[in-house]
Amino acid sequence: MNLMRRVFLGRFGSVGALTIAMASGLLKPVKALAAEWNKAAFDATVLADSLKSVGGVSATESKDILINAPDNAENGAVVQLEATSKIPGTTSILILIEKNPRPLLADFEFSNNAEPYVFLVAKMAESSRIRVLAKAGGKTYFASKQVNVTTSGC
């Protein structure tokens, strides 16, 4: 028994196998690693530009989008937001904060009948209206809620 060979394979065996698998083409990068994103929408500094970039200008208001956010947030650096869409076939949820330096906060995609629910912690520059867009069946819907901020987070 060759002790050095056993030590080498013990330390580098899995790395070596991974390297061989990648070199031989058995392992390929996943498309999610190079996911596409809407740069114009995330770079926009005005709400109207963000809405235009994501196709939300002609969105229809819906009671089937539920927003759970505080009415008054003491610290704008830590504002907890939850959004749920009860609209059948929801494929994405977008979160926008109207008075933030960059209004589009997040864009979540759903597939394979995943539950359209998101929870996140946001920074808010000042008191503002939060707008949640949901895309379903080729249409865009929205709901909004006013959140008052005591101390700015941006």
Any idea what DSSP says for residue 59? P
Both tokens assigned to 120: 């996140």
Residue showing tokens 């083409």? 25
pLDDT at 24: 58
pLDDT at 4: 62
Quote the CA–CA distance of 78 and 74 in Å, as a whole number: 9
pLDDT at 29: 56
Domains and CATH numbers, the chain: 1-34 (no CATH), 36-151 (2.60.40.2470)
- The tens digit of pLDDT for each residue in 36-63 reads 778 889 999 999 999 999 999 999 999 9
Residue showing tokens 């076939």? 89
User: H-type helices in the chain, by residue range?
Assistant: 3-24, 39-43, 47-54
Which residue ranges in the chain fall short of pLDDT 50? 32-34
pLDDT at 9: 54
Predicted model pTM: 0.75
Which among 126, 127, 109 is positioned nearest to 118, based on CA atoms?
109
